Amino acid sequence: DAGITQSPRHKVTETGTPVTLRCHQTENHRYMYWYRQDPGHGLRLIHYSYGVKDTDKGEVSDGYSVSRSKTEDFLLTLESATSSQTSVYFCAISGRPGTGGSHNEQFFGPGTRLTVL
Amino acid sequence: ELKVEQNPLFLSMQEGKNYTIYCNYSTTSDRLYWYRQDPGKSLESLFVLLSNGAVKQEGRLMASLDTKARLSTLHITAAVHDLSATYFCAVEPDTGKLIFGQGTTLQVKP
pLDDT tens, B63-103? 999 999 999 999 999 999 999 999 999 998 877 788 999 99
The model's confidence at residue B46, banded by pLDDT at 50, 70 and 90, is: very high
CATH number of B4-109: 2.60.40.10
The model's confidence at residue A1, banded by pLDDT at 50, 70 and 90, is: low
Comparing A55 with A1, the larger pLDDT belongs to A55
pLDDT score at A2: 59
pLDDT score at A99: 59
**Of A112, A116, A97, residue with least CA distance to A31:** A97
Predicted confidence (pLDDT) at residue A115 exceeds the cutoff of 60:
yes
Question: What is the distance in angstroms between the Cα of B79 and the nearest Cα belonging to chain A?
Answer: 24
Q: What would the mean pLDDT of A18-27 be, rounded to a whole number?
A: 96
Arithmetic mean of pLDDT over chain B: 93
Instruction: Delimit the domains of chain B by residue range.
Output: 4-109
pLDDT score at A9: 97
Task: Give percent above pLDDT 90 in chain B.
Answer: 80
Chain A contacts of B102, Cβ < 8 Å? 40-42
Instruction: Delimit the domains of chain A by residue range.
Output: 4-98+108-116
Q: What are the tens digits of pLDDT across the range A77-94?
A: 999 999 999 999 999 998
Cross-chain Cβ contact A43/B96 below 8 Å: no
pLDDT score at A34: 97
The answer to which of A58-62, B41-45, B90-94 has the lowest mean pLDDT is B90-94
pLDDT score at A98: 64
Strand order in the sheet with A19-25: A4-7, A19-25, A73-78, A64-70
CB under 8 Å to A112, separation ≥6 — which residues? A6, A7, A8, A9, A10, A11, A21, A88, A89, A90
Whether residue B99 contacts residue B70, with contact meaning beta carbons closer than 8 Å, is answered with: no
CATH number of A4-98+108-116: 2.60.40.10
pLDDT score at B108: 95
Q: What are the tens digits of pLDDT across the range A64-73?
A: 999 999 999 9
Predicted confidence (pLDDT) at residue A103 exceeds the cutoff of 60:
no
pLDDT score at A39: 85
Predicted confidence (pLDDT) at residue B28 exceeds the cutoff of 90:
no
Question: Residues 24 to 43 of A: which have CB under 8 A from any B CB?
Answer: 31, 33, 40-43
**How far is it, in rounded angstroms, from Cα A109 to Cα A112?**
9
**Of B60, B67, B35, residue with least CA distance to B48:** B35
Cross-chain Cβ contact B45/A43 below 8 Å: no
